[in-house]
Amino acid sequence: MRKTTRYPVQGPNPLWQMYRTVSFWKVVKNFIVIQLARYTPFPSWKNWMYRTFLRMEVGQETAVALMVMMDTMFPELIKIGKNSVIGYNTTILAHEYLVEEYRLGEVRIGDRVLIGANSTILPGVTIGDGAIVAAGTVVHKDVAPGSFVGGNPMRVIRAGEPEEK
């Protein structure tokens, strides 16, 4: 099970009343920064933008590819380790609005992780150090360190092996 916190709502669905859960101006600022970062060709500039304006934790030498879409409402819940690669057009979500509740969950991506293009990372998951996520995968549960996973639904293709120290 993903590690999310559930918040029930009364009345219309939570997306209809989203600005009761997050500031409109925060979403506007985040959207602008994320859109600029999506097209920025230099990983160091992207990482600076994520750290400075979105309060995300992004490790040294992490490369976020073109068109990656970070969560626009709660990007501060995304933590990415060092020397990882986030592939083209990946989406990383830290929230989900459902019909009668919304959920928030921290996303933790370890060191030396490879996320393939067009993947979706759902809220509340941890991807362990050295893991590989195949292109097009929907990551709906934790990924063990060193594992190779892929597909929708995600399945383990190769289990992780203990790291040598």
User: Helix 43-54 and helix 24-39: axis angle, to 10°?
Assistant: 170
The beta strand positions in the chain, using DSSP E, are 5-8, 57-58, 63-64, 69-70, 78-80, 85-86, 91-92, 95-97, 101-104, 107-109, 114-115, 120-121, 126-127, 132-133, 138-139, 148-150, 155-158
The residue annotated as part of the active site, out of 62, 74, 75, 95, is 95
Q: Is 95 a catalytic residue?
A: yes
Residues annotated as catalytic (active site), given as ranges:
95
